[in-house]
């Protein structure tokens, strides 16, 4: 077939072929002929609602998972980018920019429907005010690792009156002084890993937002681990826990100043998504988080969960040390959250069968992840049997953790196969990673069971069950 005849193929066929191409390769195919150029512009470029632009050789995997990155423009400078950007103006709603010098060239792009923009590792020239004026309809703004200051927050507050979500994590020049000037529409605020946040300025900003009538629903507040031993941000954490009643999502460290909690009651009973980072002792192998006195973690957990959390659906407990927290406190925590749907327990090696057995009573669980937890076959099998809604079970062990993964046997696999054969309508995915799980048999895997066992010392390559990718 000659080339002229190929061009007469139905346009739908060409569009199907183009759908398999990476966005960065599309520009070369536009040069083939007028037909391809017009098809790509009308059916590939213009309909896009999300776009990622990035300088060559800059990795974006630290900020987004691979499955969340649909495509990306990799260019060596903004001049290569401009000819293609004109085709994205009409429908583009989300833009992510990595490692660029953001100057006047950005003002030349007339975004019409842009509602979300992300800047990562970018440098802003003096045109920052002009950029915010151009993007006055933004509802979501993320500026990470860009060294912005309190003055930038003030500019954002003055020009983005409809802003609902703000992420300024990894910016070490922020003190927290101007967050109170943010518009009343603000719902979500991420200020994690900002090294020089001032506790009292941040509390005053939250109080100012509360006075204006803002209803913060999500706060992510996690100090740098290197500064955690200075009792960083105890007042802010206390203020958030006892004042912001509208919170739905909260991520913070375990409080270091336990004396503050006496006589107070946590008010975040409406929270639906809660992540708490614990403390680690300085003599442990894992990175140190918040240092404190023995049993401080127990007091904090028992105070925080002294009221029930009927709406809590997602709980993530990370890196609690046996020097400050006991198994009884974790059990106390779980009993206050009877309606959990997703539970993650990460690096809690001190947990015993008392708290782990209670997980089987959380009958609404659909997602369960253990990382560096001392487990046994009996505990895992009981959870599989009693948590009928469970769809994802993930078990991981750290490379140099204190927990030795010797206790798990192939009985877990047998139980998974038995349950999926008995209940064919149940969909179950089980991932066991970095374990010492042995087997010398080839199993028949039911269609409703996806089983992945990877990085096992006893991994036998000839068996179909042992592959690095999930079995379909």
Residue 31, number of CB atoms within 10 A of its CB? 8
User: Is there a contact between 221 and 240 (Cβ–Cβ < 8 Å)?
Assistant: yes
State which residues form the domain around 284.
229-340
Task: Tell me which of 19 and 350 has the higher pLDDT.
Answer: 350
Pick the last residue of a domain from 340, 366, 382: 340
315 & 367 share domain: no
Counting residues of the chain whose pLDDT is more than 90, the rounded percentage is: 28
Query: Domains in the chain: how many in total?
Result: 3
> For 407-453, what is each residue's pLDDT tens digit?
777 888 889 989 999 999 999 999 888 766 655 555 678 889 998 87
The predicted-structure confidence for 254-307, as pLDDT tens digits, reads as follows: 765 555 566 677 888 889 999 998 865 444 443 334 444 556 678 888 888 988
Residue 155 covered by a domain:
no
* Cβ–Cβ < 8 Å for 235, 260: yes
Do 206 and 246 contact (CB within 8 A), yes or no?
no
**Of the ranges 76-90, 158-172, 237-251, which one carries the lowest mean pLDDT score?**
76-90
Q: Are 410 and 438 in contact (CB under 8 A)?
A: yes
Contact 117, 140 (CB under 8 A): yes
- In this structure, is residue 121 part of a structural domain? no
State the average pLDDT for the chain: 78
Domain finish residue from 284, 319, 340 = 340
**Is the domain of 306 the same as that of 380?**
no
The pLDDT-based confidence of 335 (bands split at 50, 70, 90) is: very high
| Residues above pLDDT 70, as percent of the chain | 68
Q: Which phi and psi (to 5°) does residue 119 adopt?
A: -115, 125
Tokens of 209: 């937002």
| Whether residue 249 has pLDDT greater than 70 | yes
The residue among 344 and 451 whose pLDDT is bigger is 344
Is residue 332 assigned to a domain? yes
Residue 332 has pLDDT above 80, yes or no: yes
Predicted local distance difference test score (pLDDT) of residue 316: 95
pLDDT band per the 50, 70, 90 thresholds, residue 40:
confident
**Whether residues 284 and 336 fall in one domain:** yes
Last residue of a domain, one of 296, 321, 340: 340
Whether residues 436 and 371 share a domain: the answer is yes
Write down the pLDDT at residue 289: 40
CB 416 within 8 A of CB 377: no
Question: What is the C-alpha radius of gyration for the chain, rounded to an integer number of angstroms?
Answer: 26
Lowest mean pLDDT among 76-90, 157-171, 392-406: 76-90
How far apart, in Å, do the first and last CA atoms of the chain sit?
38
pLDDT reported for residue 253: 80
Q: Compute the average pLDDT of residues 377-383.
A: 93
34-43, 239-248, 253-262 — which is least confidently predicted?
253-262
| Pair 311, 383 in one domain | no
Interval 457-466: pLDDT, tens: 544 443 434 3
The mean pLDDT value for 86-107 works out to 76
Q: Which residue has the higher pLDDT, 461 or 333?
A: 333
Higher-confidence position of 183 and 3: 183
In a domain, 188, yes or no: no
Tell me what pLDDT residue 425 has. 92
329 and 380 belong to one structural domain? no
Does 57 fall in a domain?
no
Residue of 63 and 408 predicted with greater confidence: 408
Q: What pLDDT is recorded for position 106?
A: 82
Same-domain pairing of 329 and 411: no
Quick one: 297 and 398 in the same domain? no
Domain match, 417 and 335 both = no
Residue appearing with tokens 């939250």: 206
Q: Average of pLDDT values for 241-263?
A: 74
In a domain, 110, yes or no: no
């Amino acid at each position: 077939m000659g080339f002229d005849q190929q061009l007469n193929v139905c346009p739908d066929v060409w569009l199907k072929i183009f759908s398999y191409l990476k966005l960065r390769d599309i520009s070369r195919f536009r040069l083939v002929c007028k037909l391809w150029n017009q098809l790509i512009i009308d059916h590939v470029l213009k309909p896009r609602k999300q776009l990622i632009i990035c300088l060559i050789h800059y990795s974006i995997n630290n900020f987004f998972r691979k499955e969340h990155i649909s495509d990306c423009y990799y260019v060596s400078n903004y001049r290569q980018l401009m000819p293609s950007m004109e085709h994205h103006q009409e429908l583009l709603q989300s833009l992510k920019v990595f490692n660029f010098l953001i100057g006047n060239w950005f003002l030349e792009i007339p975004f019409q429907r842009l509602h979300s923009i992300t800047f990562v590792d970018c440098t802003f020239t003096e045109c920052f005010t002009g950029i915010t004026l151009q993007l006055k309809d933004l509802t979501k703004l993320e500026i990470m690792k860009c060294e912005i200051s309190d003055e930038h927050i003030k500019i954002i507050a003055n020009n983005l009156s409809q802003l609902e979500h703000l992420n300024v994590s990894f910016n070490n020049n922020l003190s927290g002084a101007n967050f109170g000037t943010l518009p009343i529409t603000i719902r979500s605020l991420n200020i994690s890993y900002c090294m020089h946040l001032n506790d009292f300025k941040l509390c005053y900003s939250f109080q100012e937002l509360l006075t204006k009538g803002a209803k913060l629903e999500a706060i992510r507040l996690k100090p740098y681990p290197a500064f955690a031993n200075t009792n960083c941000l105890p007042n802010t954490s206390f203020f958030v826990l006892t004042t912001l009643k509208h919170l739905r999502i909260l991520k913070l460290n375990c409080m270091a100043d336990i004396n503050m909690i006496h006589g107070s009651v946590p008010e975040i009973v409406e929270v639906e998504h809660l992540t708490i980072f614990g403390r680690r002792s300085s003599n442990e192998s894992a990175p140190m988080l918040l240092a404190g006195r023995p049993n401080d973690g127990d007091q904090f957990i028992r105070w925080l969960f002294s009221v029930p959390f009927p709406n809590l659906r997602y709980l993530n407990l990370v890196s609690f040390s046996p020097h400050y927290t006991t198994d009884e406190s974790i059990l106390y925590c779980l009993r206050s959250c009877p309606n959990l749907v997703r539970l993650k327990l990460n690096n809690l090696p001190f947990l015993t069968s008392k708290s782990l057995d209670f997980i089987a009573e959380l009958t609404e669980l659909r997602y369960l992840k253990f990382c560096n937890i001392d487990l046994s076959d009996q505990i895992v099998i009981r959870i599989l049997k009693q948590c009928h809604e469970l769809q994802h079970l993930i078990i991981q062990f750290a490379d140099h953790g204190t927990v030795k993964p010797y206790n798990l046997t192939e009985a877990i696999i047998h139980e998974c196969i038995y349950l999926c054969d008995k209940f064919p309508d149940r969909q179950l995915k089980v991932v066991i990673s970095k374990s010492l799980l042995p087997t010398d048999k080839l199993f028949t895997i039911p269609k409703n069971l996806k089983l992945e066992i990877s990085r096992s010392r006893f991994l036998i390559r000839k068996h179909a069950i042992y592959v690095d990718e999930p079995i379909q």
